[in-house]
Each structure stands twice: as C-alpha cells, then as structure tokens.
Amino acid sequence: MTDHDVAQDPDERRLSTREAADRLGVKPETVYAYVSRGQLTSRREPGGRGSTFDAREVDALARRGGRREPSGAGSELAVRTGITLIDRDHCYFRGVDTSELAAHHSYEEVAEWLWTGEMRRGIRFTAPHDALTAARRAVDALPAHTGPMDRLQVAVIAAAAADPLRFDLSERAVLDTARTLIPTLVAALPRRAAGRSLAQARAEEARAEEAGAGRAGDERAASGRAAGGLGEAEQAAPGQGAAGQGAPGQAAAELGTGGRGAAEPGAAEKPAPELGAEDGPLAPRLWSRLTSEPADPPSLRVLDAALVLLIDHDLAASTLAVRVAASARAHPYAIVSAGFGALDGALHGAASGLAHRMLLEVLDRGSAAAVVADHLRAGRRVPGLGHPLYPGEDPRARALFALLEDVPRARPALQAARDVITTTARHKEWHANVDLALAVLTVAAGMPAEAGETIFAVARTAGWIAHALEEYDEPPLRMRPSGQYSGPRPPQPLP
C-alpha cells in the first residue's frame, strides 16, 4: 500500500517510522515491508520528511504477533502464542503445569483439552478405515530396513491422499482430522514381535481389528436394546454422526474409561482393552509398535506421561516450520509433514537416540566414567544433559524419572543415567534433559534407539495441530521475513 498525502486528524496519534519500529521491535525496513504487504498503512504529513503510522494500527499488529527482531547477532523471531510457557524450570500448557497434566490425564485427554479447552475424560482417538488402509499400504511398500520416521512421513502423505476434504480448514474439520491422524500414524507402524515378518504382523493386526469390530458391534447392539430401540442417529453424541458413517477425515473420537483420570459419572465399566487394541488408549497401541516386550502398567504410565510432556515445547524448529506452513494455509496433513521434515534433522529429533546408545554403552562397560571421558575427549557434548531453556533440570525429565522409579525393569538403565549425571557433574554442572529420561525408558523396554524419536514425533503432532489452529486465526502469509541480500551489487555481467 502506498503513502497518502492527507491532513492529520488532531485527535489521531501518529508514530514516526522509528517509533513504529521500536514499538514492534523490528528494523525500520521491516516497517516498510509491512506497508507493502498491506499489514500497515502509512501517511506523509504536509511539510514532513517521512511517513507516519497510526499508533492504534501499530499496536494491533503487535498484538497479532508482530515480529521481534533484536539487532545484531543472535536475533530471534518471536510469535505470540497462548499454548506453552517455559518459566523458571517449569513448563506450562495454557497456564497449567505439564507435570501435573501428565500425572492426572492421558495423552488423548490433554491433546483434546489443548485443542478445544474441554477436558473430556476417557476420550479415545481411532483411525478411519480408508486412511489407515492407504497408510499401511504405503508403509508396507517401503524397504524392510526403513526406519520409523520414514514410515511416519510416508503414512501422513498417504492418509492425506485418502482424505478428499483435507483442504477444509474450518476448526471442526481440522479437529476431526487431528483426532484421526494421530491414531492412523501409530497404527500404520507395524507391530514389533520377535521372529515375525511384516506380513505376519499385518495379518495379526487384521485379525485383532476384525475381533474388535465384532465386539464393538455387540456393544452397540446391546446399547441399542438398552436404550429402548432408539435409532443410531438419535443415540449419537452431539456433533457426531452414527457409528461408521463419518466422512473421510471426520473425527472418530470415542469416550472410554481407560484414562488416568476418573471416568465420567454414570459411565458403564468396560473390560480393559488388550495391549495394542486399535480402539483402546493410544499408549498401549504405540508400545506394541516400539517393542515386543510385554507392557506392565507402570511402564505404560511412563510412556503415556512422556507423550503428554512432549506435546509442545514453545517454538522449537519443527513447530516454527509448522506455523510457517499454516500461515500459508497448508492443510493439517501438510503441516504435520512440515514438522516431520524439521524433526528429522540431526539436531532436533535424533537427540534421544544418542542418549539411548550412550546408556547401552554404560551398561555394557559397567561404568559411566569411561563413556563420559570418551565424549569429552572427542569434544562431544554428553547426550541427554543440558537444555538452553532450563538453567536447572528439565522438568519433563524430572517427572519421568519419578515415574521410572516404579518400573522394576528400568532400574539398571536408571542407575546408568544417574552415573552419567554424577560423573559429568565433576567437570560441569549439566542437568538431565528429557532425552535422557526417554532413553531410560527405551533401553529398559528393549526398544530400538530410534524409539525415542518415534515417541517424540507422535506426541508432538498434537502440539503442531494446536499451533496450526492458532496460526489459522492470524492474517495469512504473515510468516514472511525479509531477506537481507549479501550478494554482489548489480549490475553484474551475464555469466
């Protein structure tokens, strides 16, 4: 938008370019970029030497999340968000301590609350047939050596292709997609079992799903008889269609009683779902994809708590990638793909795998001293220690270590982690971060080194959806920083 030469209203407060830049925390050049993109209007005063800006309009842009650009090295991009606050060695989701949320609620409950503001006890997320079939076929076509992150990236693309309504960015449609995408990603991963091929694992999954569908049909029939002959549509929960009638991408969230919180008053008791059942809680489903070891309740509590604690962590690299994609109005599957792409970097999602391998080495050598010394001698940071956002111990690690105390199989790995912390503290006061706690779980449960990254990716998907919902309410394409050209000045000869 261009400047306009008009007389100034004496009741209207105007800001100079420098004042507007200071209020927004950006460079003067960025203020003019806002004008060119239509986010601000400017005006030349009669006899003035520069443009002026409406103070109210500048303040409104700042409230919408105008960029903060401290000058000099280490400049940061800041985005206003109401999702996560990290403050004095504590992490909060919407003002609630994440450790308390993990202690009292399941992953699905916290995800639903983060998206909608409503805590629905016992909520379950289930995968729609079409999306799951497409995702599994795509995953099964990959080479046998393919890692879980590659499988997840392929699964989300296949699920998107199976959903023709994916471009609907209304809040309800995005929530429906979120509730079905997460279980689809988990169910697309093959179950792990010693001595079984992928084909055998898929055959067992199909038999389990057929049995589950039969049980669900019996329960619906019994429910219909008890309801005095009400039709399916009349018995459906508000905002939900009859069972099995949802369009592709619609929610398949169901209410059960398997969360850590108490069930809704009056809810009928149901038998505990079998481990990994596709209509049960998400943590057992994910467990069966990470290890062939049997799960005990304390171990599942740790996994579920890890999923909660890893939902979001402010604007990490993957979350920023998600918000940029959402700013361009990418659909939910695409924003999750953007997050996976950033998470696949060696400096983001792979950290827990390094800690996992280190703990295995400590257990193999019987001492942390030699292992820590090897890292320090090579100039490498000791995995699983230190976090730039926490001067002290990572609160997520603290919560998981407390839960791991109740897991008998975790004692050797837990002691190895403590040895690493104690040994390193003789040289530098580095505190444990969540990657070390996650590594204790993955080592103790016989999971592969990449399991921690898989847990991270599944958990963080809920946070990415929350950030996308927030970004969809902002002006589109606002995540468009201006480049600072450093190449040769034109004109240059034709090469």
CB 104 within 8 A of CB 158: no
Active site residues: 348, 387, 435
Cα–Cα separations (whole angstroms), residue 42 to 28, 61, 295: 13, 14, 63
Reference 358, options 415, 416, 405, 411; nearest CA is 416
Q: Which residue has the tokens 């809810």?
A: 267
Amino acid at 330: A
CB-CB neighbours of 268 under 10 Å: 9
SS3 284: helix
Q: Got the DSSP string for 134-196?
A: HHHHHHHTS-TT--HHHHHHHHHHHHHHT-TTTT--SHHHHHHHHHHHHHHHHHHSPPP-TT-
Spatial neighbors of 207 by CB under 8 A, at least 6 apart, are none
Residue 59's region, left for phi above 0, alpha for psi from -120 to 50, else beta, is alpha
Q: Sheet of 96-97: strands edge to edge?
A: 84-87, 90-93, 96-97
How far, in Å, CA of 32 to CA of 51, rounded? 10
Lookup: tokens for 82: 């109401």
Residue in the structure block whose two tokens are 């261009």: 2
- β-pairing verdict for 42-44 and 51-54: antiparallel
In SS3 terms, 70-82 reads as CCCCCCCCCCCCC
Q: How do 254-255 and 123-124 pair as beta strands?
A: antiparallel
**Beta-bridge partners for 255:** 123
**Cα 107 from Cα 354, distance rounded (Å):** 25
Measured between alpha carbons, how far apart are the two ends of the chain, in Å? 36
